């Protein structure tokens, strides 16, 4: 299990570095999904499968949908539509696919060895997670929600300003 932990950690670090390096937002989001899946696998290996499932459902699911929604809201026109057509090339998906396939191999390995009784996970109940999030970590959870709301409002404002400028140019031409 230590080897799986280190491989997952390496994938999480590599994918996170690719998020920082990529200049294309959609490519960065692909690597961010892989990074979040790697962190979920780390939680699973450390004996917290419930937290790992929450990581996948909340972050890799809901938060990523929010990010994609904001990117779609900031769509700037025909040039972006052509660029989106280029994103469907296999080179774009190769890096995230290799990292995700490695994580899938690790999950299969864990599930195959779990039946032999070598894997023991400590159970964390949803009640314990709720008590922790609404107890000592309440301020952090609320601050994170305000930051997400501020980011969404800022993205809407920037997108709306760009849309207004485009419509004004269209009427003058």
pLDDT tens per residue across span 82-114: 766 666 677 777 888 888 888 888 878 877 876
Q: Quick one: pLDDT at residue 114?
A: 66
- CA gap 70, 80 in Å, rounded: 14
Does residue 155 carry a pLDDT above 80? no
Q: pTM above the 0.85 mark?
A: no
Q: Average pLDDT of 134-163?
A: 78
Q: Average pLDDT of 24-34?
A: 82
> What are the C-alpha distances in Å from 105 to residues 31, 73, 98, 127?
18, 36, 11, 31
- CA gap 87, 103 in Å, rounded: 23
Q: Name the residue among 76, 80, 78, 73 with its Cα closest to residue 154.
A: 73
Q: Which SS3 state, helix, strand or coil, does residue 135 take?
A: coil
């Amino acid at each position: 299990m230590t080897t799986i932990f280190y491989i997952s950690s390496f994938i999480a670090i590599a994918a996170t570095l690719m998020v920082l390096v990529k200049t294309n937002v959609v490519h960065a989001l692909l690597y961010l999904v892989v990074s979040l899946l790697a962190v979920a696998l780390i939680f699973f290996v450390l004996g917290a499968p419930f937290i790992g499932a929450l990581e996948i459902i909340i972050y890799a699911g809901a938060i990523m949908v929010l990010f994609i929604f904001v990117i779609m809201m900031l769509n700037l026109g025909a040039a972006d539509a052509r660029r989106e057509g280029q994103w469907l090339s296999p080179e774009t998906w190769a890096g995230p696919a290799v990292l995700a396939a490695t994580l899938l191999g690790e999950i299969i390995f864990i599930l195959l060895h779990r039946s032999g009784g070598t894997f023991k996970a400590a159970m964390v109940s949803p009640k314990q997670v709720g008590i922790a999030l609404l107890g000592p970590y309440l301020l952090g959870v609320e601050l994170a929600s305000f930051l997400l709301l501020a980011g969404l409002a800022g993205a809407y404002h920037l997108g709306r300003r760009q849309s207004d400028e485009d419509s004004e140019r269209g009427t003058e031409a």
